[in-house]
Structure 1
Amino acid sequence: MMYLCEVSDVAEGAAKRIDLPERPPLAVFRLPAGIFVTDDTCTHGLASLSEGEIDDGVVECPWHQGAFDIATGKPCGAPCTIPLRTHRAVVSDGKVFLEE
């Protein structure tokens, strides 16, 4: 497992961008349903999804307002059509890890 951040580093209902060496950036989302990790880059453009609006489990791309279901990565708003890659997050002792 790879350490990403502290749960407390991510505000409730918000996201945090995580930059790791030799990997695409990730986004850690803290939602009422739990902690979720996705790729941070929108599949429609090069926008950072951690900077997007989050509402009811959906993140809206800050560039073109396309949207993705955070838990599944499924696109749910045009112009996004390619699913967002999701990753398995493990939370232990207040820390968020990426399960590889």
Structure 2
Amino acid sequence: MVQILCSVEDVSEDEPLQVKLSDGHAVAVYRWEGKFYCTDDLCTHGDASLAEGYVEDGEIICPFHLGSFCIKSGAPRTAPCSEPIATYVVTEKDGNLLIDR
């Protein structure tokens, strides 16, 4: 089901944005190098919101234990993160960002 995440203008280059989908599932939306990405918001290592972390070199740094994930693939990059996070394809239409989930 295609859902609107947010407006393009809602996502800054500097920090992720948490979005709650219609079913209550939380995702994090990123703008990095002019492109948009979306992952699950919950870190697979601990109970932390990735949207509260920061993006550095295409990775989201978790605020809980400072492990990281690739925002493109969801692959864990640094310990203690070892399980990947889900990623979603983001499309842009009429100034909005959408995902099909």
**TM-score, length basis structure 2:** 0.93
Give the Å deviation of 1:33: 4.7
Q: Is the 8 A contact 1:13 1:32 kept in 2?
A: no
CA distance in 2, matches of 1:16, 1:56: 17
Distance in 1 (CA, whole Å) between partners of 2:42 and 2:12 is 20
Asked whether 1:91 is paired with 2:81, we answer: no
May I ask how many residue pairs the two structures share in their alignment?
Answer: 100
Q: Distance in 2 between matches of 1:66 and 1:34?
A: 23
Kindly report the root-mean-square deviation, in angstroms, between the aligned alpha carbons of the 2 structures.
1.1
- Cα distance in 1 for partners of 2:43, 2:72 equals 15
Q: By how many angstroms is 1:73 displaced?
A: 0.3
Superposition pairs of residues 16-95 of structure 1, within 5 angstroms = 16-95=17-96
Per-residue CA distance 1:4-42 (angstroms, 9 max, x = gap): 100100111321000123242001101115100100000
Counterpart-to-counterpart distance in 1, 2:62 and 2:87? 16
For structure 1, which runs of at least 5 residues remain unmatched after alignment?
none
| Cα distance in structure 2, aligned partners of 1:94 and 1:31 | 17
Question: Taking structure 1 as the reference length, what is the TM-score of the superposition?
Answer: 0.94
State the alpha-carbon separation in 1 of the partners of residues 15 and 57 from structure 2. 11
The 1-side partners of 2:89 and 2:62 are apart by: 21
Percent of aligned pairs with the same amino acid: 39
Deviating beyond 3 angstroms after TM superposition, the runs of 4 or more aligned structure 1 residues are none
Q: Is the 8 A contact 2:16 2:54 kept in 1?
A: no
